[in-house]
Structure 1
């Protein structure tokens, strides 16, 4: 049997050892280089994720929340996907006959309801103002009665003040005696009674025909500019695109803190119904908000009040909604103050100053003696509750009646703020939208934690690389493997 000479075997062994050594050195360098590249990449991504977290999040907010033709926020804003409800409570004057005979008797009101209507909002006729980063739009609101959620029906009878008669008398309260007497003649001719009974449907959206109102519309009296011959608190609003007027709103494209802020109503930035800052158009519509984390107060512009209402952050309150902790903003005594406690609120007093707790919105309600307050006259002066008992009643609408010696129907009345109705709007955040919102809110945390995690992994790899390189572990293991193969 042929055998390889010993010297040749030694040469082959040496060659094999050298070959494996060269390959081992190359492999080690490749591993070190590869690990170094990985470490650099992990460090770069991690540092960028941590340092650019706010920038990236701001970019995501601009893309998702701002109002533009390509944003997610635009689709949600154009047609509100969140279920909304209007809860209406009517006040039934149960002892009206007794009070009309003797005004020393305190009026008693029974609260009826809620009468619940689903509410849907659609923005229409949009005009983009690119130079100002605003959008002008009309708002179409659709209501449908929800019998299953309501206490009572639309056919319930409600007795309360004759709104048209009270409005007509209020409009001539400062006129000379002959004009008041003429007004008194027509009021007695057409109205007959200071109180009237109507169904809930008539009081709200359906409306009812009124002979005095029809006469006033025909006479086209400038101070009495109701455009309809029927009256209802919400008459003419359902499905109307123009009733609320047009709004101009910041899109937030150039400044996310302005997102949803309305700066014009009916193309002007001042309502004309109040002086000073009280008449300035400001605040959101109540559905679209800029990030409110840093705000102690938020403003909502209400076309129903022709003014802005301010809500304050309730610091000792938090509530979890769909897995998210929400902030609660409430109305305080500042909201309907008349300058008694907060001098800047005095500009809401248009005509006669009353104790704090109501806002005169007569200029916004076709001259009707309308005043708004919190339900139950909450936070209002006792002046409003002393003449009334058993009012168990979110904004309340009240009508003022006061004695007028030249108007027969109001000759013997006592000055009283009569509660007519109060209503609240509620929304329900859907689980689907809640999950999307929660995901958006967690983006900063995800970026920060991910970045820190990548930096941590990179640091660990640096430690491992240095340790193994220092001890030449890879080469030693390779040599041991080669020797075992030769053996």
Structure 2
């Protein structure tokens, strides 16, 4: 009897341990989630704050320039052909500065960027390597005068002849990036028509910031962490033609909210192209045993208005000025220069855009924008932000040297701003996130397993004992004689 009591007690204990294991699953998950929140929100001492101030992974920006190999033929109206040169790589540093915390759980800051050339990741010396490209300052001036009368354009043509202006220039990679003095801009600057006599797509951007940001710290609601409240003192943009296009959505990409879902959109704001954009889940995969979600900017974000009506606001000044699919008019945020943004090699652009130029080879894996993020913490292990800068060109009948110029979206260069997690970052992530997760899981399922083993084992023993101790039933053959019957029958009967 005592043995059976012990077995029953062990059975009850097994059930109790199993219930504890089951009950610990949501409790442990809540503990892990709270730990993630505590480390992600932007407050002094948190891991998220330290990583936000100064990225723990190296950030690089790489440039490829487009060398026009038939410039003389282009002047006669032929399609331009290009050869890609690059990459020319720079290490990018942009620690946060002027950080101020406010009582409403917001933070203001600036992020000056510094660029340092990285020869080991480059094909050559940007100071020495040259290429043939469009004279962008010239096309900017022409673009500004395109709605003026013929006589003004004639005066421009005369000025060009006097100062010896060329439609195409041979420049170094350094020139096109960091700036060179341009004779036409110098003249315009002396007449107080232009702010500078220098031109370069990154001229004046080294050791400078792109404006003040105000973001949410996430302390009151972690899903808002790093979400932009205002940029340059404004809660919306003013570059585009409707409220939707001018919305400031998402983060700056340096820190994502945690607990990412497969069906959610990841919103980002880029001051480079003066707009917000979203990414969607493309695939899931594992990197060094870390689960990652790959988010990419979908083709519909670049589609023309007939395919995606939501893009109407990016047609400036009105819908009548919509560009083909795959292009974004950047003139409003680039001092009225005829700049058109696209993905490298015109990825996702309409077929007629690609037909205007030769030498493009768009490839999704090499030219798309992507963020590879760990879904629990939102931490980005791989990032690639890719943009191509193009100049809109067309014939100008009143300007002799441009009267035959073809209509094109003339590619100048493309860039890839990227970051990849180092082995140290991967190890730190595993130590701080995966190790506690695995420990909690081991305790949860360990208790559940021990409890179930006890329950199953005790149940089997009790069932077996019951069978052994059950009374045996004797079977008697009805043909056998009863023990009280006489051995011999009465012969006298």
| SS of 2:196 mapped into structure 1 | coil
Say whether 1:192 aligns with 2:165: yes
- Whole-Å Cα distance in 1 between the matches of residues 110 and 428 of structure 2? 28
Out of 444, 451, 456, which is 2:444 matched to?
A: 451
- Whole-Å Cα distance in 2 between the matches of residues 443 and 422 of structure 1? 42
Name the residue aligned to 1:239: 207
Out of 113, 120, 130, which is 1:157 matched to?
A: 130
| SS of 1:204 mapped into structure 2 | helix
Q: Deviations over 1:259-288 (max 9, x none)?
A: 222231112121100122111111222221
Q: For residues 188 and 58 of structure 1, do their structure 2 counterparts lie closer, same or farther at Cα, with a shift above 3 Å needed?
A: farther
- Whole-Å Cα distance in 1 between the matches of residues 393 and 435 of structure 2? 54
Out of 245, 264, 275, which is 1:307 matched to?
A: 275
Report matched runs for 1:380-391 at 5 Å: 380-391=349-360
| SS of 1:271 mapped into structure 2 | coil
Name the residue aligned to 2:252: 285
- Whole-Å Cα distance in 2 between the matches of residues 467 and 396 of structure 1? 71
Out of 92, 109, 113, which is 1:119 matched to?
A: 92
Name the residue aligned to 2:108: 136
Say whether 1:59 aligns with 2:52: no
Say whether 1:396 aligns with 2:426: no
Name the residue aligned to 1:360: 329
Q: Deviations over 1:68-125 (max 9, x none)?
A: 112111111101110121121000111112322x21x221111101111122221111
Name the residue aligned to 2:44: 69
Assess if the C-alpha contact under 8 Å between 2:268 and 2:277 holds in 1.
yes
- Whole-Å Cα distance in 2 between the matches of residues 384 and 467 of structure 1? 75
Deviation at 1:139, TM superposition (A): 0.8
Assess if the C-alpha contact under 8 Å between 1:165 and 1:187 holds in 2.
no
- Whole-Å Cα distance in 1 between the matches of residues 131 and 343 of structure 2? 21
Assess if the C-alpha contact under 8 Å between 2:281 and 2:293 holds in 1.
yes
Say whether 1:436 aligns with 2:402: no
Out of 357, 367, 371, which is 2:340 matched to?
A: 371
Name the residue aligned to 2:366: none
| SS of 1:405 mapped into structure 2 | coil
- Whole-Å Cα distance in 2 between the matches of residues 449 and 343 of structure 1? 51
Q: For residues 174 and 450 of structure 1, do their structure 2 counterparts lie closer, same or farther at Cα, with a shift above 3 Å needed?
A: same
- Whole-Å Cα distance in 2 between the matches of residues 139 and 385 of structure 1? 36
- Whole-Å Cα distance in 2 between the matches of residues 459 and 114 of structure 1? 60
Give TM-score, length-normalised by structure 1.
Answer: 0.79
**Where does the alignment leave 5 or more consecutive residues of structure 1 unmatched?**
1-30, 469-487
Name the residue aligned to 2:218: 252
Assess if the C-alpha contact under 8 Å between 1:188 and 1:409 holds in 2.
no
Q: Deviations over 1:421-452 (max 9, x none)?
A: 01112211122221332341564554344134
| SS of 2:245 mapped into structure 1 | helix
Deviation at 1:210, TM superposition (A): 0.9
Q: For residues 442 and 348 of structure 1, do their structure 2 counterparts lie closer, same or farther at Cα, with a shift above 3 Å needed?
A: farther
Aligned length: 428
Assess if the C-alpha contact under 8 Å between 1:359 and 1:372 holds in 2.
yes
Q: For residues 138 and 41 of structure 1, do their structure 2 counterparts lie closer, same or farther at Cα, with a shift above 3 Å needed?
A: farther
- Whole-Å Cα distance in 1 between the matches of residues 27 and 225 of structure 2? 23
Name the residue aligned to 1:475: none
Give TM-score, length-normalised by structure 2.
Answer: 0.78
Q: Deviations over 1:288-326 (max 9, x none)?
A: 111323444222211011101222211xx3333232121
Deviation at 1:392, TM superposition (A): 4.4
- Whole-Å Cα distance in 2 between the matches of residues 191 and 288 of structure 1? 50
Q: For residues 252 and 188 of structure 1, do their structure 2 counterparts lie closer, same or farther at Cα, with a shift above 3 Å needed?
A: farther
Q: Deviations over 1:316-349 (max 9, x none)?
A: x333323212111223221222312110111111
- Whole-Å Cα distance in 1 between the matches of residues 262 and 458 of structure 2? 46
Report matched runs for 1:314-333 at 5 Å: 314=282, 317-333=283-299
Runs of 4 or more, structure 1, over 6 Å off, are 38-45, 458-468
Deviation at 1:456, TM superposition (A): 5.1
Q: For residues 247 and 185 of structure 1, do their structure 2 counterparts lie closer, same or farther at Cα, with a shift above 3 Å needed?
A: farther
Q: Deviations over 1:193-220 (max 9, x none)?
A: 1111111111112x10112212333434
- Whole-Å Cα distance in 2 between the matches of residues 186 and 212 of structure 1? 9
- Whole-Å Cα distance in 2 between the matches of residues 391 and 251 of structure 1? 43
Name the residue aligned to 2:177: 204
| SS of 1:82 mapped into structure 2 | coil
